[in-house]
Amino acid sequence: MKVPFVDLKAQYLSLKDEFDAAVAEVMSETAFIGGRYAAGFETSFAEYLGVNHCVACANGTDAIEIALKAIGVEPGDEVLLPANTFIATAEAVSNIGAKPVFVDIEPTFYNIDTAKIEEKITPKTKAIIAVHLYGLPAEMDKIISISRKHDLKVLEDSAQAHGATYKGQKIGSFGDAATFSFYPSKNLGAFGDAGAIVTTSSETAARARLIANHGQAAKNRHTVEGRNSRMDGIQAAVLSVKLPHLESWLEARRANAKIYDELLRDTDLRLPVEPSHSRHTYHLYVVQVPDRDVVQAKLGEAGIETGTHYPIALPFMEAYSHLGHEPTDFPVAYSQMGKILSLPMYAELTAEQIEHVCSTLKKAVSLSAAANE
Ligand SMILES: *Cc1c(COP(=O)(O)O)cnc(C)c1O
């Protein structure tokens, strides 16, 4: 039995007629960029999250750059972010001329270790980026209280966590702004690149909108230099078809995670943990296994696709070698990177597929353990 890591086709087929009609409508109206489809999605996504404003843009990386500028991060400022995240989080900081400063992650939940944030704060620190990695909210209460104490801005990189909740409130509504990616394989994915910035501040929203559209305040009146980062009408129409289904897809992911939990409970593998005050949305179901590379290759031979998020934590990545970091600077991020394994996870995954993944995984783990004896 083949088990792909994600299956975008399954979701497309489940709503094919609606997608096809929505895309045809955009084309017949030649509403290619921005326009009523983008505006419609902005309104419904803001409503879904419980925030006042949503600014649609071209992708989740642009969204971070635009949001950082909109909340006042300037060249030379330092921005704190977790050592384990996708490079886009750090790249966005560098691309606006600010400096990414990594903070180690917490060993159980994989998010930024809030106990290690304050030691990284300097007079140049301007903001903290909370990444809700794998679909699990970062510890927002602690992050917000540290930010108030030190007068810092907070940005939530929510690219992996659409619809996740922290203490009953949807993520994206805690920080000064939050960003989303709608890259096709995210929990809410478009048919190409797309992203959004959300905020409760009308001032921040207005600034983000200005930056994302060439600083154009009115036709041919550019009040600042901005950039081109707008959402396509086709992507907005696709996302509007999908949004009403997001909750049921998230529930399906959670149900799949429960099946994994139960089938893997009797092993020594470290499983994802959901704190009682959070709703994990399982963008990724990440376990820790000894001999990860061997186990991963065995699963691959059996037709089971897995991933690693991420095999090299950012401080140790070539792109950041100029920072001169050592493993002891980020012991948790360093020690987990050889063990983490992301198992197949998507709403349409079947119980039968999960059972097959788990039994193959258990066999691979015991084989590698026997080989090491
Ligand atoms: C996917 C992702 C991004 C970037 O989003 P794009 O739409 O691909 O630019 C940023 N941060 C995190 C944590 C992501 O997973």
pLDDT given for residue 307 in this prediction: 98
CB atoms within 10 A of CB 320: 19
pLDDT score of 257:
98
pLDDT in tens, 85-130: 999 999 999 999 999 999 999 999 999 999 999 999 999 999 999 9
- The pLDDT tens digits for 298-354 are 999 999 999 999 999 999 999 999 999 999 999 999 999 999 999 999 999 999 999
**Res 373 pLDDT > 90:** no
Pick from 333, 139, 347, 364: which is nearest to 247 by CA?
Answer: 347
Measuring from each residue's beta carbon to the nearest atom of ligand 1, which residues come in under 6 Å? 59-61, 85-86, 88-89, 131, 157, 159-160, 181, 183, 193, 195
Ramachandran area for residue 330 (φ above 0: left; ψ -120 to 50: alpha; else beta): beta
What pLDDT sits at residue 34? 85
Q: How far is CA 363 from each of CA 120, 144, 357, 370, rounded to the nearest angstrom?
A: 43, 44, 10, 11
Rounded to the nearest whole angstrom, what is the distance from the C-alpha of residue 344 to the centroid of ligand 1?
Answer: 19
Confidence at residue 45, expressed as pLDDT on a 0 to 100 scale: 98
- d(CA 90, ligand 1 centre) in Å: 11
Structure confidence by residue, pLDDT tens digits, 16-73: 999 999 999 999 999 999 899 999 999 999 999 999 999 999 999 999 999 999 999 9
Is residue 372's pLDDT more than 90?
Answer: no
Atom of ligand 1 nearest to the CA of 62: 9
> What pLDDT sits at residue 305?
98
Report the predicted TM-score, pTM, of the whole model to 2 decimal places. 0.98
